[in-house]
Structures are given as C-alpha cells and as structure tokens.
Amino acid sequence: MNDSKSICWQCVHHREVVSGKGSVFLLCRVSQTDEADLILPEIDALLKTELLSYRSRWPKYPPQPLAICPFFVELPVSR
C-alpha cells in the first residue's frame, strides 16, 4: 500500500496499474463494475439512485491525490 494522501489507496474500488515505464496509476473500477456487484457507501436509497446515475461519468483514472469521493468504501482491515 502507498502512503500517498489520496483516499483511493484505501478504497475497495481501486486497482494499481503500472505502466511499462514504471509509472503508477490508480484505476477506479466504479464505472466498470456491474451494478449488482458494485459496493456502495452506506447511504439512503434516493442518494444511492443518484450516485448510480452518476457513475458512468466518473473518471476511470481520477486526478490524484483525491481527498473526497462519493464512491469511497474503505478496504476491510486485514489481520
């Protein structure tokens, strides 16, 4: 895990992508995940509907560092 100030590193939706030159990019899988499999924050049904309608416009590679995100769901702590 990276010590970057971006919340993406602690989110269940991120995937680290390393380019051929060694650059690291954070892919957000929100727009790529089937709606039935998408893990969303604990919010009421109306907000959840609005969030789902917005996800197709969410960037595949959000600008970093990201401080807040409507789709953020913290990774479970492994022990």
- Judge whether residue 4 has pLDDT over 90: no
pLDDT tens sequence across 18-77: 999 999 999 999 989 998 899 999 999 999 999 999 998 999 999 999 999 999 999 988
Q: Provide the domain limits for residue 10.
A: 1-79
Contact status, residue 71 vs residue 58, Cβ threshold 8 Å: yes
pLDDT at 31: 85
What is the count of structural domains for the chain?
Answer: 1
pLDDT at 1: 52
Number of C-beta neighbours around residue 73 at 10 A: 16
- Burial level of 78, CB count in 10 A (0-12/13-18/19+)? exposed
